[in-house]
Amino acid sequence: MSGAGGQAVIDNIVSKLSVAARRRFGEAVLVENIAVATLGASNRTLLFDLVEGTSRRRLVLRQETVKSEFSPFISTRDQYRILKVVYGHGLLIPEPVFELEAIDDLDNGFVVACVEGETLPKTLLTDPNLETARKRFAAQSGEFLARLHAIDPAEVAFLETTPDSIDPLQAQIDRYEGYGHCYPGLEVGIRWLENNRPADAQRKFIHGEYRNGNVILGPEGIKAVLDWECAHIGSAMEEFGWLCMRSWRYGQLDKPVAGFGPRSELYSAYEANGGETVDEEAVRWWEIFATFRWAVINMMQIDGHMSGVRRSLPFACCGRNIAMVEYDMLMAIKGDYS
């Protein structure tokens, strides 16, 4: 966010955040060292230090900024409930610290602990300091997802009624049609997906957006998994379809697991850590589904830019992305992509 108007918005947020912090931690605390994250397309992300005497803790504020009747994202309130459940099971995620309340006058959102590391996809795939992490990523992802899917869905039963939990394909079709545009390639994809649905699978608690860019890496591997706004109850194979989609490989096309490694390492680690046997045919369906879903998310982003609700160059570029994803979908259906 830049310009005088943008800085005024940030100053206002910091002022209110300071009051919110004092309300929870005492009048002696200060909010300092503010930074606005340059990544994160769905919500505003603001980093700050919570200071009390000689104690200083780095925290992250996530504020809900997507306001659309077609948004695929669950509320920040539900995201925070998810974070508490997952953190309680000892998985690698940022520690939830507190949720915003109406009295804070900061809209919806929450604060979590800051985990130091790298999230920029291109950097994750090229930084020499992350070579070990890259080699471990596929296997570590399999282990993480197996542990996540072992959590009883009853612990997040509030997700059962979300559209993506009830019928994920119909949920995407409804969003697609809601924007009132027609893309021939996507129409072909919708018909293929409708005609080739996989058999019903055991329902798991899934992240829904586990990919390159939504994890924090350090030199030794995964440090934390971020962005739980698409979590729902569904097939474990959906997780693999999304992770292995071509868009997340960022040019490393011969490494299907988000540009890091082979599917075999992901699947073997998942099964070795208690996950169900991977159904590769079902994963293919979910990967084609993922391209359709990613196109619809890009439609949401360009719609936000064109309507003036969230104007930005990255969101404007999402309009061009749709054609690229449309092509990827058709090639995947044809069988040209691994």
Which residues does 36 contact at the CB level (< 8 Å), separation at least 6? 1, 10, 44, 45, 46, 47
Q: Which CATH class is domain 121-334?
A: alpha beta
d(CA 210, CA 212): 7
pLDDT at 4 over 50: no
pLDDT at res. 119: 95
Taking residues 258-277, what's their average pLDDT? 98
How many C-beta atoms lie closer than 10 Å to residue 143's C-beta?
19
Contact 70, 179 (CB under 8 A): yes
Assigned fold of 3-113: Phosphorylase Kinase; domain 1 (3.30.200)
pLDDT at 242 over 90: yes
pLDDT at res. 292: 97
pLDDT at 146 over 90: yes
Q: How far is residue 189 CA from its own chain's centroid?
A: 23
d(CA 19, CA 13): 10
Contact 219, 133 (CB under 8 A): yes
pLDDT at res. 38: 59
> How much is the pTM?
0.93
pLDDT at res. 2: 40
pLDDT at res. 315: 76
Q: Torsions phi, psi of 150, nearest 5? A: -80, -15
pLDDT at 137 over 80: yes
Lowest-confidence pick of 8-17, 124-133, 202-211, 272-281: 8-17
In degrees, to the nearest 5, what angle opens at C-alpha 231 toward C-alphas 171 and 209? 90
pLDDT tens for 34-89 read: 998 855 556 789 999 999 999 999 999 999 876 666 678 899 999 999 999 999 99
Q: What are the sequence ranges of the domains in the chain?
A: 3-113, 121-334
- The runs of H, that is alpha helices, within the chain are 3-25, 76-88, 121-126, 131-149, 163-166, 168-178, 184-195, 236-243, 263-272, 280-307, 313-334
Contact 217, 259 (CB under 8 A): no
pLDDT at 312 over 90: no
Q: Torsions phi, psi of 76, nearest 5? A: -65, -30
